[in-house]
Structure 1
Amino acid sequence: MTVRTTLTILMLVLTSHVAPAFAASCPDSTAANQPPAVPITDDQGFNHWGNAWLSAWYEPYHMVHDVLVGEGEFAIMAGKFDYDLTFHKDLEDEDVHVFLYGTGMTDWEYLGEYRTDSDGKIYAALGNRPVGHYQVRMIVEGDKTEAQGFLTVVAPGTKAVLFDIDGTLTLNDFEAVKDYLGIRTARAHAFAPETVRAYADKGYCITYLTARPYWLMKDTREWMTHRSLPLWHIHSNPDGELFTKKDTAQYKTDYLNWLIDGGLNLIRVYGNADTDIEAYERAGIAKQDTYIIGELAGDDNTQPIVGDYSHHYSTIVLPTPDADE
């Protein structure tokens, strides 16, 4: 059973029905992106000496699967804990502390202690939260290494802009060649970061949908921070395998439908590959709202972005009204 399937089942079981409000603009992200220091937990060490050795010799590659839910839904977040970019040895049977901070909060809320399973995973119950944007920290008891993720709770009709990453924001299409070794230092298309930030400043929810395996999210978040891209909702391949072209299109279609069913109004989507074009069409997104950069720009009646984002930024993005207009 995949992480996504598990989360779907748990959400359906635990969903509380609350009468939703309607909103156009995205929840404010200021609090989630400017949290206070996380409280330090007592140092109890590792449960197993082998994990202490693992931590001493290898770099942590922990990650959290971001969660986006509609207002009134119970949220559950998966965390995955392992060490080393190549080795990816799972951290088994160890304790992880979970904290949450965000919209309307004045301090971190402690959500409890969880123990990793044989795959190095935990599933943390985040609860039924008000509409807002929240940062979640999962901290390993043994060595205080941590993973960061985000919970976004949206009201029906919330306006959003969605971006693929590889070949769309980056110059290199790592997704196409299945070679991710350069993602930490990848160059961005000119005015790509400015384009994303402009939408965020106008009140649109920013969503990233990538076929990158989940174990690359640590590097992905570091790259986005380095490029000053808004850290909103990022969804990666939860199974960790390298997709075929057919798999990629279906995976993206499924998640687009998930987002739409959850209450997002995707006003524009961005991509570069034929799998992006196919997935956007199958999810019912209009061609006039589908923007493609690169060799396939304008294919299948999509809107072309020629060269880089500079012209698109000045003629399309900047004149776009705010989300609440």
Structure 2
Amino acid sequence: MRVLAALTLLALSAQASAQCPDFQSPANPPSFTKPAKKSFRHFGSTVLAGLYKPWHMVHDQMVRSGQAATVTAKFDYDAVLHKDLEGEYVHAYLYGTGMGGWSYLGRHTTDSDGKINVAVGTRPVGEYRLRFVVEGDLSQVDGYLSVVDPNRPAVLFDIDGTLTINDFEAYADYVGVKTAQAYYYAPQTVKAYRDKGYQLVFLTARPYWVTKDARQWFDYQGIPQWHYRSNPYGDGPIPPDTQAHKTNYVKYLREQVGLNIVRAYGNATTDIAAYADGGIPKAQTWIIGEHAGSSGTQAVDGDYSYHFSTVVAATPNANCN
């Protein structure tokens, strides 16, 4: 059964003829010079930045080749209060595949929600790192843009309870996210797909304000930080639309971006339903934990060690170049 799954994946990925993801360029940006620091436009912002630590985040974006991209960044302060930075200047920069240095994307003004929407334009196929710098205190945050050819083979992961042992989503206990214990051989599983040339997608129902800790966890585990997509819901610790959020994003990736999601991992019944509704076959839906193998999905038993040796190791390289 496990060998059959790998052979099925071979047939699916063989349909692809796309450029492999460039995991090197965004992970190794050139030296960066910050803009000149200037006073905040509003006195309240000066007080805010003086009292609290920045807790900014970026919604990673993925688009089909030839499609113009817009990336949203949000700026707030304090891990608990999340007070928005309103009406202040932010400088935006881009670096990635085929570029010799950072490209300046202009100065933008945060809205009443502390957000800016930056038009990145139509970029060549590749992986890009965006950097945003607040003019008033020079605090910064990075995010990522992926521009992909249609049919690029990809592997999608939920995080909480799937890569980590604790299901933070279920209990809204996000305090330990950045140091959460990973399932045995979960990081090796992710890295193996990366090394085989698959696009990585991390789709979580976590609210957006956990992004900073999530990226620190990726760094700690040695996993690429992107493509990371959280729930934009911000009115409470447990978003009420977990399944819809995941279903809609899977559909976006498959139908509008044209991503060929050949395998998906999760742990919850909402993952099973969201992946199925998004069009991912249950034969390529792998579930770990108490719902492993439920509703016709494939079971990851215990941890990832046996799955790695029998399924992941046997998975062919993505048909990309």
Relative to the length of structure 1, the TM-score reads: 0.91
- Looking at structure 2, the residues matched to 286 and 243 of structure 1 have their Cα atoms a distance apart, in angstroms, of 31
TM superposition shift of 1:242: 4.6
What residue in structure 2 maps to residue 289 of structure 1?
284
* Residue 85 (str. 1) matches residue 64 (str. 2): no
- Looking at structure 2, the residues matched to 184 and 154 of structure 1 have their Cα atoms a distance apart, in angstroms, of 29
* Residue 41 (str. 1) matches residue 35 (str. 2): yes
One-letter code of the match for 2:162?
Answer: T
- Looking at structure 2, the residues matched to 255 and 97 of structure 1 have their Cα atoms a distance apart, in angstroms, of 28
TM superposition shift of 1:285: 1.1
Task: Say whether the 8 Å CA contact 1:102–1:134 is kept in structure 2.
Answer: yes
What residue in structure 2 maps to residue 99 of structure 1?
93
One-letter code of the match for 1:157?
Answer: N
CA-based RMSD: 1.4
How many residues in Structure 1 have an aligned counterpart in Structure 2? 304
One-letter code of the match for 2:299?
Answer: P
* Residue 216 (str. 1) matches residue 182 (str. 2): no
TM superposition shift of 1:239: 2.2
Of residues 60, 69, 73, the one that matches 1:75 is 69
Alignment of 1:1-150 (within 5 A): 23-150=17-144
What residue in structure 1 maps to residue 261 of structure 2?
266
What residue in structure 1 maps to residue 294 of structure 2?
299
What residue in structure 1 maps to residue 244 of structure 2?
250
- Looking at structure 2, the residues matched to 65 and 213 of structure 1 have their Cα atoms a distance apart, in angstroms, of 11
Q: Gaps spanning 5+ residues in structure 1: where?
A: 1-21
SS in 2 for 1:150: strand
TM superposition shift of 1:42: 1.1
SS in 2 for 1:135: strand
> Structure 1 vs Structure 2: percent identity of aligned residues?
52
Task: Say whether the 8 Å CA contact 1:24–1:323 is kept in structure 2.
Answer: no
Task: Say whether the 8 Å CA contact 1:63–1:218 is kept in structure 2.
Answer: yes
TM superposition shift of 1:244: 6.8
Distance 1:75 1:61, change over 3 A: same
- Deviating beyond 4 angstroms after TM superposition, the runs of 4 or more aligned structure 1 residues are 242-246
One-letter code of the match for 1:42?
Answer: A
What residue in structure 1 maps to residue 167 of structure 2?
173
Structure 1 residues 28-55: Cα deviation after superposition (integer angstroms, max 9, x where no partner): 1211110012222112121122211211
One-letter code of the match for 2:138?
Answer: K
* Residue 309 (str. 1) matches residue 299 (str. 2): no
Task: Say whether the 8 Å CA contact 1:25–1:204 is kept in structure 2.
Answer: no
What residue in structure 1 maps to residue 316 of structure 2?
321
Of residues 267, 271, 296, the one that matches 1:276 is 271
Q: Gaps spanning 5+ residues in structure 2: where?
A: 1-15
Task: Say whether the 8 Å CA contact 1:32–1:134 is kept in structure 2.
Answer: yes
Of residues 156, 159, 167, the one that matches 1:162 is 156
SS in 2 for 1:296: coil
- Looking at structure 2, the residues matched to 244 and 79 of structure 1 have their Cα atoms a distance apart, in angstroms, of 21
SS in 2 for 1:212: strand
- Looking at structure 1, the residues matched to 103 and 234 of structure 2 have their Cα atoms a distance apart, in angstroms, of 30
What residue in structure 2 maps to residue 229 of structure 1?
223
Relative to the length of structure 2, the TM-score reads: 0.92
Task: For CA contacts below 8 A with separation 6 or more, give which structure has more relative contact order.
Answer: 2
SS in 1 for 2:316: coil
Task: Say whether the 8 Å CA contact 1:163–1:270 is kept in structure 2.
Answer: yes
SS in 2 for 1:31: coil
TM superposition shift of 1:116: 0.5
- Looking at structure 1, the residues matched to 218 and 46 of structure 2 have their Cα atoms a distance apart, in angstroms, of 30
TM superposition shift of 1:243: 7.9
One-letter code of the match for 1:39?
Answer: T
SS in 1 for 2:119: strand
One-letter code of the match for 2:259?
Answer: L
Task: Say whether the 8 Å CA contact 2:207–2:238 is kept in structure 1.
Answer: no
- Looking at structure 1, the residues matched to 200 and 85 of structure 2 have their Cα atoms a distance apart, in angstroms, of 31
Structure 1 residues 204-236: Cα deviation after superposition (integer angstroms, max 9, x where no partner): 000000000001101111111111111221110
